[in-house]
Amino acid sequence: MSGSPAVVMRLVASAYAVAEKAGTIVRKVLHSGELGIVEKTGANDLQTLADRLAQQSICASLSKRFPKITIIGEEDLPSEEIQEDLIETGQSEEILQRSCPPEYSQLKEEEIVVWVDPIDGTKEYTEASRCLHFQAVAQAPHKGLDTPQPHSTALWLLDNVTVLIGIAYGGRAIAGVINQPFYNYKLGAGTQLGRTMWGMLGLGAFGFQLQEVPGDRRIVTTTRSHSNKLVTDCVDSMEPHEVVRVGGAGNKIIQLVEGKASAYVFASPGCKKWDTCAPEAILHAVGGKLTDMHGNAYRYDANVKHMNSAGVLATLRNHEYYVSRVPQSVLQALKSD
């Protein structure tokens, strides 16, 4: 490689380190037990201290190094001085060593938009926290050894939590980083928690083993906490062999690329551009597709509407099959932008 790395490669390399730092913040706040939960539009739309600190860390770190890039974060936060220890200056050396796909080698900061979801799956994060807290109380000596732990299964929800940093150019999601802060939590003490996945169009995606659902089995993944009749009707119309209800848009794309699900079907408004930008880029980098329920692409320009009003349909393969199964009632209710 000659000369210094392209701007976009430096950005992805920074986003990788910044997402890891955010993952550390997300773990720290969970362990503190002080989540500082705020309801935004309602009980299923939450913000915690971890969402606030992680977004501050991501946005301040990236804008310090790339001052001309437009950065849009999910959380509405007052603009205030950011604590110095939230700033991450590291970069992934491995990403810096990679050649930039020629079509992106000349991108300027001004042309790039970054979409940030500091925690995707906040609802599940708060539920897992309650479960952990319950266990801590149950294990206190005065409670005795026979205290039941009915919520312990809720710990699986930790896998639903991700940090998403999506990079867009020309209205398209071209690169993305996903940090999964609690990956490996099942292995217990002494294991390094968390992993970071990244991908870029023209380069591929890294940090996981690409796998497909075997044969023509249809496994549909969908929301567990934002369902309604339209959502369930649409899932049924796909004639799935199995339905996997998990939280988070990032986590559902992980299900697709790791061979746990064949389609992510969400026939409802609710997901926003920061939920889909990074996951879409990683999915597209390995040949998959994310669209609205009509099969139309979303755009990620700085001035677009944040809400993905026409739902989310994502697949690793056979996108056309799933688009063709979407019921008329859904197509009529959810109009493309």
Catalytic residues, which ones?
Answer: 51, 122
Cα 41 vs. chain centroid, distance in angstroms? 20
| Residue placing its CB nearer to ligand AMP in the complex, 65 or 226 | 226
Q: According to CB under 5 A, which residues from 95 to 124 bind Mg ion?
A: 117, 119-120
Q: Return the SS3 of 315.
A: strand
Q: Catalog residues that contact ligand AMP under the rule CB under 6 A.
A: 44-45, 120-121, 223, 225-226, 247-249, 270-271, 275
Return the one option of Mg ion, ligand AMP, none that residue 247 interacts with (CB less than 5 to 8 A, by type).
Answer: ligand AMP
82 is in an annotated binding site: no
Q: Count the neighbouring beta carbons within 10 Å of the beta carbon of residue 6.
A: 19
Q: What is the CA radius of gyration of the chain?
A: 20
Return the one option of ligand AMP, Mg ion, none that residue 255 interacts with (CB less than 5 to 8 A, by type).
Answer: none
Alpha-carbon distance values, 286 to 13, 132, 202, 329 (Å): 19, 36, 9, 31
- Please state, in angstroms and rounded to a whole number, the distance separating the CA atoms of residues 148 and 108: 58
Cα 244 vs. chain centroid, distance in angstroms? 17
Q: Is 159 in the site for Mg ion (CB under 5 A)?
A: no
Any idea what DSSP says for residue 165?
E
Could you tell me the smallest distance in angstroms from the CB atom of residue 95 to ligand AMP? 26
| Residue placing its CB nearer to Mg ion in the complex, 117 or 292 | 117
120 is in an annotated binding site: yes
Could you tell me the smallest distance in angstroms from the CB atom of residue 313 to Mg ion? 17
Nearest to ligand AMP by Cβ — which residue?
Answer: 270
84 is in an annotated binding site: no
74 is in an annotated binding site: yes
Residue 290's nearest CA partner among 262, 310, 261, 313 is: 313
| Residue placing its CB nearer to Mg ion in the complex, 166 or 240 | 166
Return the one option of ligand AMP, Mg ion, none that residue 45 interacts with (CB less than 5 to 8 A, by type).
Answer: ligand AMP
Q: According to CB under 5 A, which residues from 252 to 291 bind Mg ion?
A: 275
Q: Cβ distance 12 to 95 under 8 Å?
A: yes
Could you tell me the smallest distance in angstroms from the CB atom of residue 196 to ligand AMP? 19
Could you tell me the smallest distance in angstroms from the CB atom of residue 31 to ligand AMP? 22
Return the one option of Mg ion, ligand AMP, none that residue 58 interacts with (CB less than 5 to 8 A, by type).
Answer: none
N-term to C-term CA, the chain: 41
Classify residue 196 by burial, with Cβ atoms within 10 Å: 0-12, 13-18, 19+. buried
- Please state, in angstroms and rounded to a whole number, the distance separating the CA atoms of residues 19 and 21: 5
Return the one option of Mg ion, ligand AMP, none that residue 271 interacts with (CB less than 5 to 8 A, by type).
Answer: ligand AMP
Alpha-carbon distance values, 23 to 17, 32, 141, 290 (Å): 10, 14, 32, 25
76 is in an annotated binding site: no
Could you tell me the smallest distance in angstroms from the CB atom of residue 124 to ligand AMP? 7
Binding-site members for Mg(2+) are 74, 117, 119-120, 275
